[in-house]
Amino acid sequence: MLTLRRCTTIPLYARLVRYGFRKHATYVVAALAGAFTNSVFGILRAYILIALWQARPGLAGYDVTQAVTYCFITQAFIGPMQLFGVGLSIPERIRSGDIALDLVRPASLQLWSLAEDLGRAAYLFLVRGLPPMLLGAAVFGIYLPAAPGQWAAFLTGFLAAVLVSFAWRYLVALSVCWLLDERGVQSFSLVLTTLCSGMLLPLELFPGWFGEAVRVLPWAAMVQAPTDLYLGEAPVLDTLAFQAFWAVVLLAAGALATRAIRHKVVIQGG
Amino acid sequence: MVRTYALLAWTWTRAAMAYPASFAIMTVLGLAVAGMDVAVILIVFANTTTLAGFSRDETLFLYGTANLAFCLCDMFVSNIDRISQHIKAGTLDTMLIRPVSPWLQLAADRFLPTRIGRIAQAAVVLGYALSALDLDPGRLWMVPVMIACGIVIFTALWTLAGALQFVLVDAPEVTSAFTYGTGQLTQYPFSIYGRELVRGVTYVLPLAFVNWQPALYVLDRDDPFGTPEFMRFLGPVAALVLALLAALAWRQGLRHYRSTGS
Amino acid sequence: MIELNDVGRAFKVKRAVVHAVRDLSFTVAPGEFVGYLGPNGAGKSTTIKMLCGILTPTSGRVRVAGLDPSRRRTTLARRIGVVFGQRTTLWWDLPLGDSFDLIRLLYKVDRKVFRVRLDELTQTLDLGGFLRTPVRQLSLGQRMRGDLAAALLHAPDVLVLDEPTIGLDVVSKASIRTFLRRLNAEQGTTVLLTTHDLGDIERLCRRVMVIDHGRLGFDGTLDDLMATAPEHSSIEDVVTALYTGTG
């Protein structure tokens, strides 16, 4: 019975990943525009880090090239992980009431959304992620991992980071159902994500207890962790375990929230 | 014109005030979003005393002057950014059937009074920098002048961004590189940037006059790139040139729209 | 009131030139109520956009209320009212009453005059029940009545309606038709109406113009139009024959 079900669900979600990819492929111009803007900001941010590392060589255990690489790789993450937004259509569908249609489907809303989001992330990784990296390499020169193992570690860490990012955004999206002020929640998430993920500066630079706190919170698993895997500056297994921990916790919370919203919408008709 | 804008903005403010809790939350969160840029400056200077020859308080002075102008324009002009959405939804047509300039209608469209938090934040930082730095009082007259020029330059940039979107309907985000990018650029002493970049934003697109050039005068510093002294005072000229360019581009954009009928 | 002389409008679509409207000439006298018919893509919307100055004609001469719309767009705006059935000219997030306030400000309508006009429109269009409701929460019929009121607050001489009854139920349609007929009869407002609803035409328009492929195919009274077909044909038959070119 279990194997039978798996036979039909795996192709379904694989197909959803493909649809997510293809859906975003129709917005190629918008994605390239995003890549352009992310690249410009990458250059401006890189100069700040270069000046800082010239004053303090070896800060946070990085050399100047690694610091510049840090900057461009985090810019490359903005699109795939939707660090500045929600990137899910759920809030819109909750407002219009269409969410009820999604919830009565015989497939989990969370897995369904995740599959589409993975497709979107894969597309944006290629179109919005690679250009800033290439530009950074051309203008300043960036660090490239030599060992295949390091690449494998980075790609695994990147996938885990996308999972954590999705799991967080899914929770934010569903919160619209309970908290009426959608823009408030989204801005709140924006502040937390930008500040605590390592998007602004490497978390190693954050001073005192604040620094210690942000380095263990889930947002660190989105940007800081995969970047350190790329730079070869973090123990691979520990880092992946840290990301996996937050992915599991947040996805579980998302599953609970899905049950709650199903109860609210389908049963209470709300 | 100012009256029409004020009345339009007031209507949106009244609509926002209908939900006071939400209004308060958005003001505070807007402050927090803007505060992150200050946080970056403070964290950078928690790790070093000078950045490319400039101290923390000097950097905060640069940030405060540019950001005050930027946030004012963000509140009053930046709604023009949404023009591509209006073109796609056809709502630009409805603005064109009204007896008021579409530029004004767009700038006031969905005016967000909650952005006042950001302006306050920039003003506080500037106030702090002015009191912390031991500035020559005889040079302080330049501060209001540079903020005024900054306002004109950012308004021109947003207008240019809007004009560009008549052509780049599907890629409006490109234009944020110029508007928000300039906001980012002017937060730091230009001495951190590469020589070519600084040349470009001095002689081609005169963004150095938002704060860098006049600030060198206020701070009584030599330009690390060695530009002559009189450049410190060219802010009004740069602002005027950009404003004319923007007005021309806007007219051209609107004409293009009315002759292609998107 | 409306005057078009050999007006043409061409678009470049992927290097090919498409003539949305060509050699279009007609005159609408003050106080007329004219139906403007045509199949989808015939050039109706292009004409309307040229009348309000949103679109500049590539050739010919357009005059509305004596003004060249594309040059004197903002001046003309005070004398013309426009309703797009497919999209609203109201502000989505604001209560209907606030939208009207904005319009008063934009058109610089005197507060007292505005008050009187709004009361009148509120009564005739029965808007009282939803003046405080945000536009996005209105039903289509309510929104359309709101849009009509918005287009008339500045007392325009000409009213241009682009499919104002699209998607409305029978009751809403009837109330809008009654309102338009009274507006035309009592205030003498010139009305140009495009629609796919032939009921609108039958009940409202003395004169009908039919455009097809960018050219005027018929211009005359409703009776003339009916006379082009055998007796006892319905208006649907007559118009179908005109559109498909079998008439």
pTM of the model: 0.91
Task: Give the pLDDT band of residue A270 (cuts 50, 70, 90).
Answer: very low
pLDDT at A6 over 60: no
Segment B25-40 mean pLDDT: 90
- Could you tell me if B97 and C103 are in contact, meaning their C-beta atoms sit under 8 angstroms apart? no
User: For the segment C37-91, what is each residue's pLDDT rounded down to a tens digit?
Assistant: 888 888 888 999 999 999 999 999 999 999 999 899 999 999 999 998 888 888 8
DSSP conformation letters of A14-74: HHHHHHHHHHHHTTHHHHHHHHHHHHHHHHHHHHHHHHHHHHSTTGGG--HHHHHHHHHHH
Contact between chains at B173 and A37 (C-beta distance less than 8 A)? yes
Instruction: Give the highest mean pLDDT range of B241-245, C17-21, C195-199, C213-217.
Output: B241-245
Q: What is the mean pLDDT of chain B?
A: 93
User: For the segment A185-215, what is each residue's pLDDT rounded down to a tens digit?
Assistant: 888 999 999 999 999 999 999 999 999 999 9
Decide which of C114, C130, C155 is a domain's last residue: C155
User: For the segment A78-134, what is each residue's pLDDT rounded down to a tens digit?
Assistant: 999 999 888 888 888 887 778 888 888 878 899 999 999 999 999 999 999 999 999
Higher pLDDT, B259 or B41: B41
Neighbouring C-beta atoms of residue C180, cutoff 10 Å = 22
Residues of C in Cβ contact (< 8 Å) with B100: 74, 106
How many Å apart are CA A208 and CA A196, to the nearest integer?
Answer: 14
Residue B145 tokens, joined: 């002048």
Decide which of C155, C177, C201 is a domain's last residue: C155
C-alpha radius of gyration, chain B, whole number: 19
Q: By CA distance, what is B165's nearest residue in A?
A: A33
- Could you tell me if A226 and A154 are in contact, meaning their C-beta atoms sit under 8 angstroms apart? yes
Residue B214 tokens, joined: 């006049």
Residue C40 tokens, joined: 């989808």
Residues of A in Cβ contact (< 8 Å) with B29: 184, 187-188, 191
Tell me if chain B has a CB within 8 Å of the CB of A41: yes
How many Å apart are CA B57 and CA B64, to the nearest integer?
Answer: 10
Contact between chains at B177 and A205 (C-beta distance less than 8 A)? no
Say yes or no: C238 and C162 in one domain. yes
Give the DSSP letter of residue A124.
Answer: H
User: For the segment C89-112, what is each residue's pLDDT rounded down to a tens digit?
Assistant: 888 888 899 899 889 988 989 999
Alpha helices in chain C (DSSP H): 44-52, 73-77, 96-106, 111-124, 140-152, 170-182, 198-204, 222-227, 235-244
pLDDT at C182 over 80: yes
Residues of B with CB under 8 A from a CB of A: 19, 21-22, 25-26, 29-30, 32-33, 36, 39-40, 43-44, 46-52, 168, 170-174, 176-177, 180-181, 184-185, 188, 191-194, 197
If contacts are CB pairs under 8 Å, which of residues 105-164 in chain C contact chain B? 105-108
Residue A268: the pLDDT is: 57
pLDDT at A8 over 70: no
Higher pLDDT, A180 or C239: C239
Residue A232 tokens, joined: 């070869």
Segment B151-159 mean pLDDT: 97
Residues of B in Cβ contact (< 8 Å) with A43: 197
Tell me if chain B has a CB within 8 Å of the CB of C84: yes
Neighbouring C-beta atoms of residue C172, cutoff 10 Å = 17
Residue A5: the pLDDT is: 54
Q: Which of B71, B179, B59 is nearest to B117 (CA)?
A: B71
Residue A269: the pLDDT is: 55
Say yes or no: C238 and C165 in one domain. yes
Say yes or no: C35 and C139 in one domain. no
Contact between chains at B184 and A41 (C-beta distance less than 8 A)? yes
Residue C45: the pLDDT is: 87
Tell me if chain B has a CB within 8 Å of the CB of A130: no
Question: Would you call C185 exposed, middle or buried from its count of C-beta atoms within 10 A (0-12, 13-18, 19+)?
Answer: exposed
Q: Which residues are C80's β-sheet partners?
A: C158
CA distance A4 to chain B (A): 45
Contact between chains at B93 and C105 (C-beta distance less than 8 A)? no
E strand or H helix at A118, and its extent? helix A109-124
Q: How many structural domains compose chain C? A: 2
Residues 6+ away with beta carbon under 8 Å from B127 = B64
Using left for φ > 0, alpha for ψ between -120 and 50, and beta otherwise, residue B199 falls in alpha
How many Å apart are CA C183 and CA C128, to the nearest integer?
Answer: 19
Contact between chains at C49 and B4 (C-beta distance less than 8 A)? no
3-state secondary structure C177-231: HHHHHHHHHHHCCEEEEECCCHHHHHHHCCEEEEEECCEEEEEEEHHHHHHCCCC
Residue B213: the pLDDT is: 97
- Could you tell me if A119 and A206 are in contact, meaning their C-beta atoms sit under 8 angstroms apart? no
Residues of B in Cβ contact (< 8 Å) with A195: 36, 39
Residue B190: the pLDDT is: 97
Question: Which residue shows structure tokens 């939208």?
Answer: C99
How many Å apart are CA B189 and CA C107, to the nearest integer?
Answer: 47
Say yes or no: C30 and C48 in one domain. yes
Say yes or no: C151 and C171 in one domain. no
Residues of B in Cβ contact (< 8 Å) with A41: 177, 180-181, 184
Residues of C in Cβ contact (< 8 Å) with B14: 98
Contact between chains at A59 and B172 (C-beta distance less than 8 A)? no
Segment B169-195 mean pLDDT: 94
Residue C214: the pLDDT is: 85
E strand or H helix at C36, and its extent? strand C33-37
Residue A7: the pLDDT is: 57
Least confident range from A177-191, B59-73, B200-214, B226-240: namely: A177-191
According to DSSP, the β-strands at C2-13 and C80-84 are unpaired
pLDDT at A181 over 80: no
Say yes or no: C70 and C18 in one domain. yes
Say yes or no: C138 and C61 in one domain. no
Residue B107: the pLDDT is: 95
Q: Which of A233, A190, A262 is nearest to A60 (CA)?
A: A233
Instruction: Give the highest mean pLDDT range of A257-261, B98-102, B144-148, C183-187.
Output: B144-148
Mutate to test the interface with C, among B94, B104, B254, B262 (most CBs of C within 10 A): B94
Say yes or no: C101 and C204 in one domain. no
- For B172, the 3-state DSSP assignment is coil
Contact between chains at A191 and B44 (C-beta distance less than 8 A)? no
CATH code for position C66: 3.40.50.300
Task: Give the pLDDT band of residue C246 (cuts 50, 70, 90).
Answer: low
A142 phi and psi angles, rounded to 5 deg: -125, 165
pLDDT at A231 over 90: yes
Say yes or no: C143 and C190 in one domain. no
CA distance B245 to chain C (A): 22
Using alpha carbons, list the distances in angstroms from residue C159 to C52, C61, C83: 10, 20, 8
Q: Which of A33, A57, A194, A198 is nearest to A128 (CA)?
A: A33
Of B49, B50, B184, which has the smallest distance from its Cβ to A44's Cβ?
B184
Q: Which chains touch A (3+ CB pairs under 8 A)?
A: B
Q: Residue C139: give the domain boundaries.
A: 88-155
Say yes or no: C150 and C163 in one domain. no
Contact between chains at B51 and A29 (C-beta distance less than 8 A)? no
pLDDT at A176 over 90: no
pLDDT at B262 over 60: no
pLDDT at A1 over 50: no
Tell me if chain B has a CB within 8 Å of the CB of C179: no
Q: Which residues are A261's β-sheet partners?
A: none
How many Å apart are CA A47 and CA A49, to the nearest integer?
Answer: 5
Question: Would you call A148 exposed, middle or buried from its count of C-beta atoms within 10 A (0-12, 13-18, 19+)?
Answer: exposed
pLDDT at A266 over 80: no
pLDDT at B236 over 70: yes
Residue B241 tokens, joined: 């040139």
Say yes or no: C123 and C178 in one domain. no
Neighbouring C-beta atoms of residue A116, cutoff 10 Å = 22
Higher pLDDT, B195 or C16: B195
User: For the segment C20-40, what is each residue's pLDDT rounded down to a tens digit?
Assistant: 888 899 999 999 999 998 888
Contact between chains at C105 and B110 (C-beta distance less than 8 A)? no
Question: Which residue shows structure tokens 């339009």?
Answer: B8
Residues of B with CB under 8 A from a CB of C: 4, 7-8, 11-12, 14-15, 89-91, 93-94, 96-101, 105, 110, 255, 258-261
Say yes or no: C239 and C147 in one domain. no
How many Å apart are CA C164 and CA C86, to the nearest integer?
Answer: 8
Least confident range from A40-44, B236-240, C167-171: namely: C167-171
pLDDT at A2 over 50: no
How many Å apart are CA B220 and CA A196, to the nearest integer?
Answer: 37
